[in-house]
């Protein structure tokens, strides 16, 4: 049953207010900037630059640079917190970061004790008469937020980027062949190597509940600099599984009731920190085989869920099709019919990166393509939130599915909203590439509209028109190949009266 628009809006406003009240309002302290000068008097000494970390810090980032140098030789840097040594990078890095879960290679993640920290400048060689002027900038964060493992976007250009949202490694129950051939816990790098080898643009590593994989991901991101490594984890509860993307801090998974309040303890924490919650394989049954695999959490306030894993690779492999009640369409349709804007994505849920691509459900199968403002974690989250996203069942980079609509002067891209008055006409334009002889299907409010089906155009766009009836609707498209197999699944455009 559909929720009347006014009730949905009221609920949204209430939720927004509640969310704002609960939101973390901690403000980061101002950046500490410390400058200094070294001369021959500092030759072969260990000078200390002291900075302060306040209680409750979630991240410390140190940037060191020379303002002026009269010799080439620099100084080695290392750092001590108030209690212990935290790492050393000599002259090879001018920036490093530490958080509870992960740190720049050469540095140790862990608790960030409050107090006086010391950046140690070890001057192995300062010539007589030489001078070195330096600057140290220390940024302390005091609230969790989305984490980038790379210093800059992997690609700054806007565009379609393709990847896998659901990958396990040996940091939970992922396995692969060791050098002896024995199947054992699979290191994170093997999954990343497979993703890079399959030319994916991004991969989210989503081990169950743990936060232990992030430190390795930061190290791997430097080396695998063409594939975005996105922080993820699969919240694995007795009452459902959901991926949280973007964040690295611990989130409470120990639910004991399926009620909304228990679930919101972690969902709201994730949303308040700028993360994104995606319900996984909601159509799979819960039982001894799979703890909490189906989604049985009571209805949540609107806006709680950002995405649904509409196609799960494990289920795809089991049934040989992305269709059927075991996939995530039912929950997705229900949320969309309630007036929510929830993005449909796919994820392989792969537990072994060695499985060959001939099989469905291997790493990258299905692929999800996301239109991003840039290839970064920020861009990935923004892209999923925008809803300009499609699922590619066959991992085919030549395939593309896009949707746009016009009604008078109004325009909307896939994922967007289009105002459509009663009696007015909206024209929809579909780009469906790489599926010659295929068929575009149109779905309105979860129901197939056979009269609007179109053959995939050889070039350009296919189009169809819809009349406004003064009510709220959502319309999405999907593509079948020449054999009738569902191969591309698009996200809706939302019609608003
Ligand atoms: Zn799961
Ligand atoms: Zn999983």
Q: What is the pLDDT of residues 198-238, one digit of tens each?
A: 999 999 999 999 999 999 999 999 999 999 999 999 999 99
Of the listed ranges 37-41, 73-77, 159-163, 289-293, the one predicted with least confidence: 289-293
Span from the CA of 293 to the centroid of ligand 2 (angstroms) = 9
Is pLDDT of 3 > 90?
no
- For residues 481 and 336, membership in a common domain is answered with no
Structural domain that includes position 270:
144-397
Residues lying with their CB under 5 A of ligand 1, a single-atom ion: 241, 280
Span from the CA of 447 to the centroid of ligand 1 (angstroms) = 28
When pLDDT is cut at 50, 70 and 90, the band that residue 191 belongs to is very high
Is pLDDT of 4 > 80?
no
Span from the CA of 292 to the centroid of ligand 2 (angstroms) = 11
Span from the CA of 292 to the centroid of ligand 1 (angstroms) = 8
Span from the CA of 349 to the centroid of ligand 2 (angstroms) = 5
Span from the CA of 446 to the centroid of ligand 2 (angstroms) = 26
**91-114 pLDDT, tens digit each:** 999 999 999 999 999 999 999 999
Residues 177 and 360: their CA atoms lie apart, in Å, by: 20
Beta bridge partners of 494: 417, 474
- For residues 87 and 178, membership in a common domain is answered with no
Mean pLDDT within 322-332: 96
What's the pLDDT at 19? 39
Is pLDDT of 7 > 70?
no
Span from the CA of 388 to the centroid of ligand 2 (angstroms) = 24
- For residues 107 and 243, membership in a common domain is answered with no
Span from the CA of 163 to the centroid of ligand 2 (angstroms) = 16
Is pLDDT of 12 > 50?
no
What's the pLDDT at 13? 34
- For residues 168 and 302, membership in a common domain is answered with yes
**23-62 pLDDT, tens digit each:** 567 889 999 999 999 999 999 999 999 999 999 999 999 9
Instruction: Give the residue from 352, 380, 397 where a domain finishes.
Output: 397
Domain annotation covers residue 244 = yes
Span from the CA of 195 to the centroid of ligand 2 (angstroms) = 16
Span from the CA of 464 to the centroid of ligand 1 (angstroms) = 38
Is pLDDT of 9 > 80?
no
Residues 325 and 208: their CA atoms lie apart, in Å, by: 24
Span from the CA of 236 to the centroid of ligand 1 (angstroms) = 7
The bound ligand whose nearest atom lies closest to the alpha carbon of 241 is 1
- For residues 242 and 368, membership in a common domain is answered with yes
Span from the CA of 347 to the centroid of ligand 1 (angstroms) = 10
Domain annotation covers residue 481 = yes
Mean pLDDT within 145-152: 97
Is pLDDT of 361 > 80?
yes
Beta bridge partners of 27: none
Looking at residue 99, which CATH number applies to its domain?
A: 2.60.120.380
Query: Mean pLDDT in the chain?
Result: 94
Instruction: Give the residue from 331, 365, 397 where a domain finishes.
Output: 397
When pLDDT is cut at 50, 70 and 90, the band that residue 2 belongs to is very low
Residues 124 and 127: their CA atoms lie apart, in Å, by: 10
Domain annotation covers residue 3 = no
Task: Find the distance separating the first CA and the last CA of the chain, reported in whole Å.
Answer: 19
- For residues 311 and 237, membership in a common domain is answered with yes
Tokens of 18: 């509640």
Residues lying with their CB under 5 A of ligand 2, a single-atom ion: 234, 349
- For residues 293 and 326, membership in a common domain is answered with yes
What's the pLDDT at 292? 87
Domain annotation covers residue 21 = no
Mean pLDDT within 337-345: 98
Instruction: Give the residue from 102, 118, 141 where a domain finishes.
Output: 141
What's the pLDDT at 24? 62
Asked if 79 contacts 63 with a C-beta cutoff of 8 angstroms, the reply is: no
Span from the CA of 314 to the centroid of ligand 2 (angstroms) = 9
- For residues 408 and 496, membership in a common domain is answered with yes
Domain annotation covers residue 10 = no
Span from the CA of 416 to the centroid of ligand 2 (angstroms) = 29
Mean pLDDT within 279-291: 88
- For residues 165 and 226, membership in a common domain is answered with yes
- For residues 154 and 226, membership in a common domain is answered with yes
Domain annotation covers residue 458 = yes
When pLDDT is cut at 50, 70 and 90, the band that residue 15 belongs to is very low
Q: Which helix (H) or strand (E) holds 419?
A: strand 417-419
Looking at residue 364, which CATH number applies to its domain?
A: 3.20.20.140
**264-284 pLDDT, tens digit each:** 999 999 999 999 999 999 999
Domain annotation covers residue 173 = yes
Angle at which helices 260-272 and 5-22 pack, to 10 degrees?
A: 70
Is pLDDT of 258 > 50?
yes
Determine the 3-state secondary structure of 13 from DSSP: helix
Structurally, the chain folds into a number of domains equal to 3
- For residues 90 and 148, membership in a common domain is answered with no
Tokens of 306: 């950002």
Is pLDDT of 326 > 50?
yes
Domain annotation covers residue 2 = no
When pLDDT is cut at 50, 70 and 90, the band that residue 18 belongs to is very low
Is pLDDT of 339 > 80?
yes
Tokens of 70: 């009269």
Span from the CA of 206 to the centroid of ligand 1 (angstroms) = 10
What's the pLDDT at 23? 55
What's the pLDDT at 396? 97
Map tokens 């990847």 to a residue.
163
**60-72 pLDDT, tens digit each:** 999 999 999 999 8
- For residues 418 and 467, membership in a common domain is answered with yes
Asked if 202 contacts 163 with a C-beta cutoff of 8 angstroms, the reply is: yes
Span from the CA of 235 to the centroid of ligand 1 (angstroms) = 8
């Amino acid at each position: 049953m559909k929720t009347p628009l006014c009730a949905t809006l009221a609920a949204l406003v209430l939720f927004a207010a509640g969310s704002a009240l609960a939101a973390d309002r901690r403000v980061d302290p101002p950046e500490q900037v410390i400058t200094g000068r070294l001369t021959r008097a500092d030759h072969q000494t260990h000078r200390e630059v002291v900075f302060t970390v306040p209680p409750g810090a979630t991240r410390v980032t140190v940037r060191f640079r020379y303002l002026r140098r009269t010799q080439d030789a620099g100084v080695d840097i290392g750092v001590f917190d108030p209690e212990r040594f935290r790492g050393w990078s000599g002259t090879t890095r001018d920036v490093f970061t530490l958080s509870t879960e992960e740190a720049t290679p050469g540095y140790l993640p862990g608790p960030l004790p409050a107090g006086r920290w010391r950046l140690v400048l070890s001057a192995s060689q300062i010539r007589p008469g030489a001078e070195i002027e330096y600057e140290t900038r220390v940024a302390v964060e005091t609230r969790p937020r989305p984490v980038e493992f790379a210093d800059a976007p992997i690609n700054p250009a806007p565009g379609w980027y393709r990847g896998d949202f659901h990958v396990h490694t040996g940091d939970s129950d992922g396995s692969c062949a060791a050098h002896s051939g024995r199947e054992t816990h699979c290191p994170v790098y093997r999954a990343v190597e497979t993703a890079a080898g399959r030319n994916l643009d991004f991969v989210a590593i989503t081990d169950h509940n743990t936060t232990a994989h992030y430190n390795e991901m930061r190290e791997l991101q430097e080396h695998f600099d063409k594939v975005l490594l996105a922080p993820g984890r699969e919240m694995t509860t007795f009452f459902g599984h959901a991926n949280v993307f973007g964040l690295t801090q611990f989130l409470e998974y120990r639910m004991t009731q399926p009620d909304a309040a228990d679930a919101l303890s972690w969902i709201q924490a994730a949303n308040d920190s700028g993360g994104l919650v995606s319900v996984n394989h909601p159509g799979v049954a819960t039982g001894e085989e799979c703890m909490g695999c189906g989604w049985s959490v009571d209805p949540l306030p609107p806006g709680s869920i950002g995405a649904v894993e509409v196609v799960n690779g494990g289920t795809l492999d089991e049934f040989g099709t992305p269709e059927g009640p075991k996939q995530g369409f039912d929950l997705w349709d229900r949320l969309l019919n309630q007036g929510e804007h929830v993005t449909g994505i796919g994820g392989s849920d792969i537990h072994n990166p060695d499985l060959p691509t001939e099989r469905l459900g291997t790493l990258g199968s299905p692929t999800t393509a996301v239109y991003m403002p840039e290839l970064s974690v920020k861009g990935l989250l923004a892209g999923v939130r925008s809803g300009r996203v499609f699922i590619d069942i066959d991992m085919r980079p030549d395939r593309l599915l896009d949707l746009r609509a016009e009604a008078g002067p109004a325009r909307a891209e896939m994922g967007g909203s289009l105002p459509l008055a009663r009696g007015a006409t909206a024209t929809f334009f579909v780009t469906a590439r790489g599926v010659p002889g295929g068929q575009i299907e149109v779905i309105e409010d979860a129901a197939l509209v056979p009269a609007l089906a179109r053959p995939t155009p050889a070039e350009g766009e296919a189009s169809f028109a819809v009349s406004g009836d003064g009510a709220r609707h959502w319309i999405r498209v999907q593509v079948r190949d020449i054999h009738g197999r569902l191969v591309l699944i698009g996200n809706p455009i939302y019609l608003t009266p």
